[in-house]
Amino acid sequence: MMLDRVWLIRQLLLPCLLKEMVRSLVLTGKLMAIVKEKAPEAIPLLDELITILQPNPKEIVENEKSSRRTLLQI
Mean pLDDT of 20-46: 89
Mean pLDDT of 56-65: 76
- DSSP-assigned letters across all residues of the chain: -HHHHHHHHHHHHHHHHHHHHHHHHHHHHHHHHHHHHH-GGGHHHHHHHHHHHSPPHHHHHHHHHHHHHHHHH-
How many domains does the structure of the chain reveal? 1
What's at 32, amino acid-wise? M
Task: For residue 10, give its domain range.
Answer: 2-73
Q: Model confidence at 1, in pLDDT bands (50, 70, 90)?
A: low
* 37-59 tens-digit pLDDT: 999 999 999 889 888 887 777 77
Task: Determine contact, residues 60/71, Cβ cutoff 8 Å.
Answer: no
Return d(Cα 29, Cα 68) in angstroms, integer.
34
